[in-house]
Amino acid sequence: MKQTKRTGSSLFSPQYIVRDILISLFLLAGATAISFGFFHVVPENSANIALIYISAVVLTARLTNGYLYGIVASLVSVVAINYLFTFPFFAVNFTLTGYPVTFIVTLLISISVSTLTTRIKEQADTLIEREKFLMEAEKEKMRANLLRSISHDLRSPLTGIIGNSTAYIDNAESLSDTEKLELVKHIREDSNWLLNMVENLLSVTRISANSMKIATSMESVEEVVSEAISRLRKRLPDAAIKVQVPEEFLMLPMDAMLIEQVIINLLENAIVHSKSTLPVELTVTADPRQASFHVKDYGIGISPDKLDSIFDGSCYDPDSSSDGHRGMGIGLSICKTIITAHNGEINAINHENGCEFIFTLPRNEETKA
């Protein structure tokens, strides 16, 4: 049962007071009715009646707010047990031997159980709030890393565009056609990179910033992979990609556009940064619980000291612009955000001849709470 944390002042508002009173009355009335039925069936085993009322006290303490209702329920339960189900019936007689001790012990047990239940509930609420705080802190860290990566990735291509365009304008008469073509080529590469980054940022806007939840529907994996490769080839028409998907018709709950963006980012990262002429492999496998997507290249791999931080948005190479390409810090960070929102996992590993990115997606419709 998901509970909403309420402030101290709201606990005393009329709607919550009435609610808690009704819950207490309902549980105590139910315990009394069950006890009467039990007492008439097995009159000699009245000890179980105390357990019935203690259960009602526990539920009252669990479902109401504060200590008051649980303590009152404890008092009412003890009186009911001694008045209705203990000799002399329908009377309270403290002169009987052992009667006061039974009354007091039962009362102490009920109050202790009520107090303990309320305290456990409060501790559970505290743990939930702490977990929310830690999640917010983690999201804030990811947001800071993302902003840092964005500032770097924006500055680099914009500087390149300004520098190349300035060189073209200032030296238009002295530059050869080959040199002019080279400058325009660099401008186009930087512009394409900016366009790719904008697409990534637009992808993130589809994810709720507060809940990290997304709207999913059952999508064909084969169609999503095909569309992702088609979009990538518009930017990298000569890219060599080897694709293998399951023979079975595989459907997964996902936001198709977001998963396409993840596949594009990982494939582009492998093609551009692996520095290999061998085809990049995209393999999809499935088991009853989840589907796994493997993007494998045969290049230089990833530096071991960057493997742990490659998805946090802080992993970029300041010198990566020397070949006309930018680092993939922001793209990989967004991949992590998207896959996490899908309740999946993403990892990067090195193998003997390169690097492999693996992300998983669950095959059911569960969402992240």
Q: What is the mean pLDDT of residues 16-42?
A: 83
Whether pLDDT at 81 is above 60: yes
Q: What is the mean pLDDT of residues 248-259?
A: 91
Q: What is the mean pLDDT of residues 76-93?
A: 75
Whether pLDDT at 21 is above 70: yes
pLDDT digits (tens, 9 = 90+) for 282-313: 999 999 999 999 999 998 888 888 887 788 76
Domain map (residue ranges) of the chain: 10-132, 206-362
Whether pLDDT at 223 is above 90: yes
One-letter-per-residue 3-state SS of the chain: CCCCCCCCCHHHCHHHHHHHHHHHHHHHHHHHHHHHHHHHHCCCCCHHHHHHHHHHHHHHHHHCCCCHHHHHHHHHHHHHHHHHCCCCCCCCCCCCCCHHHHHHHHHHHHHHHHHHHHHHHHHHHHHHHHHHHHHHHHHHHHHHHHHHHHHHHHHHHHHHHHHHHHHHHHCCCCCCHHHHHHHHHHHHHHHHHHHHHHHHHHHHCCCCCCCCCCCCEEEEHHHHHHHHHHHHHHHCCCCCEEEECCCCCCEEEECHHHHHHHHHHHHHHHHHHCCCCCCEEEEEEECCCEEEEEEECCCCCCCHHHHHHCCCCCCCCCCHHHHCCCCCHHHHHHHHHHHHHCCCEEEEEEECCEEEEEEEEECCCCCCC
pLDDT digits (tens, 9 = 90+) for 175-222: 898 999 999 988 988 888 788 777 767 766 666 555 566 788 999 999
CATH 3.30.565.10 assigned to domain 206-362? The reply is yes
pLDDT attached to residue 229: 93
- Look at the pTM and tell me if it is higher than 0.95: no
Q: What is the mean pLDDT of residues 354-358?
A: 93
Residue 115 vs residue 279, higher pLDDT: 279
pLDDT digits (tens, 9 = 90+) for 101-144: 666 776 777 778 778 888 888 888 888 888 888 888 877 776 67
